């Protein structure tokens, strides 16, 4: 008798909890939505930090139209130069993946591809630094101080458990071992 009552109370409690969570999840109807919903954050972005970076890189205040045009020109030139190198890096990384997962392992070929990838990434870093120097050459003292501070701080990334992983947390079989 007691077990039957316990089962009934347990079932009633579970039903109430289920209905309560369902009602909470359906809180807003189409007319009841808030006027200004919270902005979605990009993965790794901290709240309130959305305006720290410009298109690619630090946000520089008080730019003149001429400076904006020059920055756009620098960025475009940099993208044109670095795109083929980035594509080649992707090709080499795909080749490396093929070599590493092949049935017969060829250490010499793997090491060669790794060195080629390293050289390409070094070229990309040099291009990035050179572009930064071009940007610095057109800035005022005040802008330069802000630019240097933002560069020194580095990118603002989350500090969660999986913040350092490319693509976030891995889920599924064979992940998280």
CA-CA distance, 51 to 41, in Å (whole number)?
Answer: 12
CA 160 to chain centre: 13
Residue 58's beta-bridge partner residues?
53
Are 168 and 43 spatial neighbours (Cβ–Cβ below 8 Å)?
yes
User: Which residues span the domain enclosing 96?
Assistant: 65-153
Number of domains in the chain: 1
Q: Minimum mean pLDDT among 15-24, 54-63, 138-147, 164-173: which range?
A: 164-173
Would you say residue 4 has pLDDT above 60? yes
> What CATH number does the domain containing 134 carry?
1.20.120
- Tracing tokens 């020109």 back to the chain, one arrives at 73
Q: What is the largest CA-CA distance in the chain?
A: 86
CA end-to-end span of the chain = 47
The pLDDT value recorded for residue 115 is: 98
Ramachandran angles phi, psi of 58, nearest 5°: -65, 150
**pLDDT tens string 127-155:** 999 999 999 999 999 999 999 999 898 87
Q: Do the domain assignments include residue 18?
A: no
Would you say residue 48 has pLDDT above 50? no
DSSP assignment of 91-112: HHHHHHHHHHHSSS--HHHHHH
Between 171 and 131, name the one with better pLDDT. 131
Would you say residue 29 has pLDDT above 50? yes
Q: Do the domain assignments include residue 138?
A: yes
CA-CA distance, 17 to 38, in Å (whole number)?
Answer: 27
Q: Average of pLDDT values for 75-104?
A: 97
CA-CA distance, 145 to 125, in Å (whole number)?
Answer: 22
Q: Do the domain assignments include residue 35?
A: no
């Amino acid at each position: 008798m007691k077990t039957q009552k316990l089962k009934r109370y347990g079932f009633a409690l579970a039903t109430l909890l289920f209905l309560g969570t369902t009602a909470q999840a359906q809180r807003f109807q189409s007319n009841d939505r808030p006027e200004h919903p919270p902005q979605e954050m990009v993965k790794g972005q901290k709240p309130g930090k959305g305006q720290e970076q410009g298109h690619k890189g630090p946000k520089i205040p008080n730019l003149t139209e001429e400076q904006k045009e020059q920055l756009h020109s620098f960025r475009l030139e940099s993208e044109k130069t670095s795109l083929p190198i980035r594509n080649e890096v992707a090709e080499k990384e795909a080749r490396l993946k093929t070599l590493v997962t092949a049935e017969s392992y060829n250490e010499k070929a793997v090491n060669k591809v790794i060195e080629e990838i390293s050289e390409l990434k070094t070229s990309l870093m040099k291009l990035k630094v050179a572009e930064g120097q071009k940007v610095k050459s057109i800035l005022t003292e005040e802008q330069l101080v802000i630019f240097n501070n933002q560069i020194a701080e580095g990118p603002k990334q989350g500090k969660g458990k999986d913040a350092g992983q490319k693509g976030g947390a891995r889920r599924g079989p064979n992940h998280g071992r």
